[in-house]
A and B are shown apart, each in its own frame.
Chain A
């Protein structure tokens, strides 16, 4: 075993541009070993680019840092050997069978007995009986399971999962997360990007990134607390009208319908209270003070970042 540093990922000031467009701006983050770190943000926010810089697939324009104690610029080869990267798009060989794909990975990483390792993994993945099936013919859920199997096969110390559950049904999603938690319990560090709030809430720590800027990070509770949002949940009639009336008013940072209710949030508590005061008296509307949900926080962050960076 290596003398494992307590921090698996430690990067400062990562910046990356493509053709003059800055995709990741001055990003710094720390991920402790053995934690599941959720990476959230809208599409095109730079999540994939960041993950690629961490595993040596992209060279940062500026910034520095270490991954598993190795320099992300100089030691890409050493990092690659210890990191499992699951790409957003299924990137195993579609024209190779389940077994052949796993054996290929095992051989590349120098797993002592590639055949045995592949056989073992097939059994553990619950793919027995399908080992001869071509990877391209598997269903979405099985593909994702196989991909996870392939990147855990060489016993990595860090898993980088780029939107692993996109397009997978809820049951498979739940199984997948149970798997991730079991892996983390074994001491593996997992960095996972996702769009799903329920998945974010299953992470030990999360970071929110939009337009290449890391806006907030910490545990779910910390992120909610840091947001300092005041939120009302409104139920009743004519919520649509209320929503139109409040949007853009002073103190109102976000108005969003949630099923039969409306969430009204703002960072400036006093301004918010002043603005909503006349409506609180209105009959047929029920106002309740509530803690903001993670989703409230993220939508608010997204709105704010859009104003700032676009």
Chain B
């Protein structure tokens, strides 16, 4: 019994003009099957974005709300009550305690039961009406400066409006100064609105990098690379085959994150969803190409992982995800411009929160394409076609 087909067929396999697509397709199908078989990786595709989003979205909130506060009422007047009401309405403060002595007030702060204390001194209303500019004392537990600062900064404005508006205390126009803060796109300065779109980019960077960073080294370590290299497939085809399945995976992840962001965190999408999908796909492909490049540079899976992490850290720190981009030193901004996440953060925030169009985002989109092509060129030229 022979396992060969009809002997007459031996000889030439004609090279059709669709060779490139045919071989890339073979690679794509293979990668898809392998991905499907790898249950853990498959579960991670869904689990990573959900977990990260819930953790970041809920736990990390740089503008905390409902901070436990106490009030020391030295006099019970309408003006005092009105100021407290206004403070509570900002939702920064939640007045759990109403005390009448300085000692009780101090104890609450010391024990950490409250983060804020507001003191309305005796004769406050009368002093205001007389135009004496009395002090409204606010004590904050500044051990967590981030939590305290945003609430503190809003205090002055709140108190003023309360004074000017609710009661006829003097002439509002005669107030020595007027503070008008206008926080565009995020009037409540909600960090969620900033963080959730940012998370789309951060999570995608992490998962996409790792998926492809391991792809080539895995073949080398499992010994399948020798067989693959002995077959008539070209580096570009291997790359396409390894990237395409994960574009779809990344797209699903992005959809999950955006959906949760919209449904659970109430983040708006003012711009075009189509444009967002298009540019997100571009960003996903760029990251996959970079991961794939690492895979061709690394000698084993551990090295590939380390390279990915080395790329991921600056992406988080210098892209404007953690710290405002404009606040970074110039050299760091240059580094940031080389990171796809930087450009994508601008894109995703602009589309979701500002409703920007492609014309507005031209520069960042072109930057992403350039980074993608750069990575792919390195990957294709670095891919070793022999075992030398």
Contacts and interface: CB of A to CB of B under 8 A. Distances in A.
Interface stretch (B22-30, B95-103, B209-217): B22-30
Interface in A81-115: 81-83, 85, 87, 89-96, 100, 103-105, 107-111, 114
B33 A157 contact: no
A56 B29 CA distance: 26
Nearest to A83: B230
Interface stretch (A120-128, A218-226, A236-244, A269-277): A120-128
Nearest to A80: B232
A107 B3 contact: no
Interface stretch (A148-156, A194-202, A206-214, A297-305): A148-156
Given A91-B224, A96-B34, A58 B10 contact: no
B168 interface: no
B30 A80 contact: no
A244 B222 CA distance: 46
Contact of B226 (A57, A80, A179, A183): A57
Interface string A125-162: 10000000010000000000000110010111100000
B12 interface: yes
B230 A155 contact: no
Contact of B34 (A81, A83, A95, A125): A95
Interface in B61-118: none
Contact of A57 (B2, B9, B23, B230): B230
Contacts of B13: 81-82, 109-111, 154-155
Nearest to B228: A91
A56 B386 contact: yes
A134 B227 CA distance: 18
Given A100-B30, A107-B29, A155 B9 contact: yes
Contacts of A57: 226, 229-230, 386-387
Given A83-B230, A108-B23, A93 B1 contact: no
B145 interface: no
B311 to A, nearest CB: 27
A155 B5 contact: yes
B231 A121 contact: no
B223 interface: yes
Contacts, number: 128
How many interface residues does chain B have, given as a range? Answer: 35 or more
Contacts of B227: 85, 87, 91-92
Given A95-B37, A96-B33, A120-B5, A108 B231 contact: yes
A92 B5 contact: no
A247 interface: no
A94 B222 contact: yes
Contacts of A82: 13
Contacts of B10: 1, 155-157, 186-188
B16 interface: yes
A152 B19 CA distance: 20
Nearest to B5: A155
Contact of A182 (B4, B9, B222, B230): B4
Contacts of B232: 77, 80-81, 108-109
B324 interface: no
A105 B2 contact: no
A56 B233 CA distance: 13
A113 to B, nearest CB: 12
B11 interface: yes
A144 B231 CA distance: 18
A52 interface: yes
Contacts of B387: 52, 57-58
A57 B33 CA distance: 27
B176 to A, nearest CB: 74
A183 B223 contact: no
Nearest to A60: B388
A96 B30 contact: yes
A283 interface: no
Nearest to B10: A155
Nearest to A114: B26
B231 A183 contact: no
Contact of A59 (B1, B37, B231, B388): B388
A107 B23 contact: yes
B187 interface: no
A152 B6 CA distance: 12
Contacts of A77: 232
B2 A182 contact: yes
Contacts of B14: 110
A85 B3 contact: no
B300 to A, nearest CB: 17
Nearest to B25: A107
A121 B1 CA distance: 12
B7 interface: yes
B4 A157 contact: no
A148 B2 CA distance: 11
B38 to A, nearest CB: 7
A264 interface: no
B387 to A, nearest CB: 5
Closest CB pairs A-B (n = 3): A107-B26, A91-B227, A182-B2
Given A56-B230, A152-B3, 16 more contacts: A57-B387, A59-B386, A81-B13, A81-B232, A95-B37, A96-B34, A107-B23, A107-B29, A109-B231, A110-B16, A121-B3, A148-B3, A152-B4, A157-B11, A179-B2, A188-B4
7 contacts: A52-B387, A80-B231, A83-B230, A90-B223, A100-B30, A103-B29, A114-B26
